[in-house]
A = this chain, B = another copy of it.
């Protein structure tokens, strides 16, 4: 038999429900403002078990007490998650939209993710497949520039942007600068550091970034082009913003960051930093754990599309289908859709598929991702002995496909 709820926190009396001095003071009310909604896909044996799991989420993610211990106080009760919709989602799975008072997130992305999925992430068979915020929660979130930022930076319109990757890790900075020079000469629109280039002793950030920026600027002067180099500014917690700001001081016009390494909130902090006024490309390193089990974690579109866009990415890199990773066509298209779907006044961002982006697939990829995308082409460009010619050939194919 369940115990009657008791407010253990009443300052005067442990049996104070209904005559709470705090409530009676009238200066505090249960939060009753806008709510955000999380869609969970729940695996269960039957509909009743699924509903019980969803009810559990409402408690687990908020007061974290069993239902029979909910203190009965309106202040606490107002905090509980609330099931707004439910429905079947294929064999053995159900979907629940659960809303939470916006106040539970306290205006912090870290806490928003905590309420959405903190403890529940540890329960197998529950997957986040949607995250919808009311307009009141948009402040401080979202991309700084979005897709338009890439257009402005490169001056390229009417076709997807071509982004090559500066590699390999291990190559000294002077050689990487030479690689970048050839890519820029060949007409790459963007050149991103490989995400493995950090601040290693064999290729320090302080040496690499100015050298590559200079080489790309020289190539731009030769060709009349406007290639943009994106240094990887993923860095330890204390140095993340300083590294991003330093890159901008050195002349970088866009940056690469891996939010799986910095935390999602590191990306948000960069997007909101007045001294980092350039587009940000998010790399998926160390985010794979979230999507590998289709019954748990966060789905591809919500993670790489919705969540990274909310956190401030202007482009989101993900492994394209047909490359060496296992994302499906449907998952990739879901990410691209999430980059663009309306979220209040939030700018659309660039899907940046990488892997299997070969000239032969240009028409297919253009049809799939549209013009407002970044095509990430890595190792393939380094095949053969003329890097610039490879870039040039790819760019011609893309231009032809869009003409």
Contact = CB atoms under 8 A, between A and B. Distances in A.
Interface of A: 3, 6-11, 14-15, 22, 28, 30-31, 56, 60-66, 69-71, 73, 75-79, 103-111, 113-115, 117-124, 165, 167-172, 174-179, 182, 194-196, 198-202, 234-238, 240-241, 258, 260-266, 268-269, 284-293, 295-298, 319, 324-327, 378-379, 382-387
B296 A200 contact: no
Given A117-B286, A287-B121, A387-B14, A379 B64 contact: yes
Contact of A237 (B60, B263, B285): B263
A76 B170 contact: yes
A66 B260 CA distance: 24
User: How many copies of this chain sit in the oligomeric assembly?
Assistant: 2
A69 B382 contact: yes
B287 A326 contact: no
Interface of A, secondary structure class, is loop
Given A172-B75, A286-B118, A287-B121, A202 B28 contact: yes
Contact of A63 (B14, B118, B168, B236): B168
A131 to B, nearest CB: 13
Contacts of A262: 110, 237, 263, 265
Contact of A7 (B105, B106, B175, B378): B175
B194 A64 contact: yes
Nearest to A16: B175
A354 to B, nearest CB: 10
A66 B379 contact: yes
Given A10-B175, A64-B378, A104-B200, 8 more contacts: A11-B178, A63-B169, A64-B168, A65-B378, A71-B171, A118-B195, A123-B326, A124-B292
A76 B106 contact: no
A175 B65 contact: no
A288 B123 contact: yes
Given A108-B236, A121-B289, A261-B263, A114 B198 contact: yes
A388 to B, nearest CB: 9
A79 B172 CA distance: 12
Nearest to A74: B170
B114 A6 contact: no
A117 B287 CA distance: 9
A114 B261 contact: yes
16 contacts: A6-B382, A14-B385, A66-B379, A77-B170, A79-B169, A106-B198, A113-B261, A114-B196, A115-B196, A117-B286, A118-B285, A119-B288, A121-B289, A263-B263, A288-B296, A293-B297
